[in-house]
Amino acid sequence: MNNSVIIPFYLDEYIINNLYTIVIAKFAKIESVNIKEQSIIKFRTPLSDICHGKYMQGDLDVQYLSEFSRREEKISVIILVLLEIIDILKSNDLLKSIKNQRDLISIEEGDFILFNCKLKKDPVIKNIENIINIIETEIMFSFGEDDECNKTKQEILKQLKVYINDYKENRSLKYMAQYEYDTKTRIVVPLQGKYMEENIEYLIDGNVTIFGKAIKVNRDKRNKKIDMLSGTYLDYLDDKCFEVFKKRFLKNRDSFNVNNKKILETEGTLIEIIPIAMYI
C-alpha cells in the first residue's frame, strides 16, 4: 500500500479478527516476546542478632533472587491488524488491487479486492430522506396555513421517520461504487451502521478505498436490476410514485427532484461484495 497513513471510516472487527487469525496462522509467523521479571532482595545483619553465644561476631549477608518469565504473543490494535492482513494477502497474491477496467472485469467470486471509488446512495432512500427534509421545512414555515394539511404532513413525516430509522438500524444500507474507468460495471457495497466510525454522509460522492470480498459476480448481458433494498416494499416505489406524492403533498415541488431508479439497472457486470474495511 503506497499510503499506510489511513483514516478508517468502516471497520468490521469481527471479520478482521477472524481473518487475521487465518492469515497469520497460514502465511506468517506469530510474533511473540519474552518478558522476564527479576527481583533481588539483599540485607546484612550482625550474627549476634540471630545466634546466641559468647563468641558470636561478624555479620550475615543474605541475598534473595526471584525470577519470573512468560511468553506473550504480540497483539496489534485493529488498524495495524488491518494493514498487516492487506500486506499478507498482497504478498501471497490473494488480493486484487483494482486500478483500471481490466482489473475490474477480472474479479471473480471469492476474490479479496481493494479499490478506490465514489459511493452513491440508493435513489429510493435518497428520495425519502429528501421528502422528510422538505416536509419538515414546510411545517416549520407554515404560519397561518391549513392546520388539517399540516396534521396530514406531520403524520406522513412521523411514519417516514419511523420506517427509515428502523430500516437503517436493522438492515445493511446498500451503496453503489462508481469509478472513472468503467460506467457499466456495478459494485454493490452493503454497509452496516454499527461498524461506521464516522457519519457516512461525509463520504457520499467523495473518494474512498474499500477492502472487501466478492461474493457474487453476474456477467449476464441482459438488463439486470440491482436489488438495493433487500426485498422490502421500498423496492416497488418507482419514479412515478414519487412524482404523484410530490404533486399531492409537497407545496414546494421544485425543491424535490426525483432521483431516477434507472441507475440501478445495468447491462454490464454486477458485483456484490462483503465490505471488511473502508478508509480515506
List pLDDT tens digits, range 88-116.
999 999 999 999 988 988 999 999 999 99
Packing angle of the helix pair 239-249, 123-140 (nearest 10 deg): 0
Q: How would residue 4 be classed by pLDDT, with cut points 50, 70 and 90?
A: low
Is residue 207 within 8 Å of residue 116, measured between CB atoms?
Answer: yes
Which of 104, 26, 24 has its CA nearest to residue 273?
Answer: 104
pLDDT-based confidence at 224, cuts 50/70/90? low
Residue 17 in any domain: the answer is no
Query: Are 189 and 210 contacting, i.e. CB atoms less than 8 angstroms apart?
Result: yes
Report pLDDT digits (tens) over 226-266. 666 555 666 667 777 777 777 777 776 666 666 655 666 66
pLDDT in tens, 7-59: 677 777 778 777 777 676 666 555 555 556 666 667 677 766 666 655 566 66
pLDDT for position 75: 46
Q: What is the pLDDT of residues 165-186, one digit of tens each?
A: 888 887 888 888 888 777 778 8
**Do 146 and 60 fall into the same domain?**
no
> Does residue 260 sit within a domain?
yes
Average pLDDT of the residues in 58-79: 61
Task: Tell me, yes or no, whether 171 and 243 share the same domain.
Answer: yes
> Are residue 135 and residue 183 in the same domain, yes or no?
yes
pTM greater than 0.75? no
Residue 170 and residue 63 share a domain: no
Please check whether residues 123 and 158 belong to one and the same domain: yes
24 within domain boundaries: no
Within-domain flag for 2: no
Same-domain check for residues 66 and 100: no
Pull the grid cell for residue 145: 396555513
pLDDT at position 166 is 83
Q: What is the pLDDT of residue 53?
A: 59
- Helix 78-91 vs helix 13-27: crossing angle, to nearest 10: 50
- Assigned domain for 194 exists: yes
Distance CA 200, CA 56 (A): 83
Residue 213 belongs to a domain: yes
Same domain for 110 and 48? no
Q: What is the pLDDT of residues 127-139, one digit of tens each?
A: 888 888 888 887 7
Q: Does 139 share its domain with 174?
A: yes
pLDDT: is 175 or 122 the higher one?
A: 175
Residue 2 has pLDDT above 50, yes or no: no
Structural domain includes residue 169: yes
Number of domains composing the chain: 2
Residue 197: which pLDDT band, with cuts at 50, 70 and 90?
A: confident
* Structure-model confidence comparison of residues 18 and 4, the more confident one: 18
Clarify whether residues 122 and 210 are in a common domain: yes
Categorize the per-residue pLDDT at 275 as very low, low, confident or very high, splitting at 50, 70 and 90.
very high
Q: Which residues contact 252 (CB under 8 A, 6 or more apart)?
A: 134, 137, 138
Query: So what's the pLDDT on residue 7?
Result: 65
How far the first Cα of the chain sits from its last, in Å, is 13
Say if residue 180 is in the same domain as residue 46.
Answer: no
Q: Does 181 share its domain with 249?
A: yes
Residue range of the domain that includes 114: 95-279
Indicate if 60 and 149 belong to the same structural domain: no
Predicted local distance difference test score (pLDDT) of residue 97: 94
| 26 within domain boundaries | no
Band (pLDDT 50/70/90 cuts) for residue 66 is low
Q: Which of 7-16, 38-47, 78-87, 191-200 has the lowest mean pLDDT?
A: 38-47
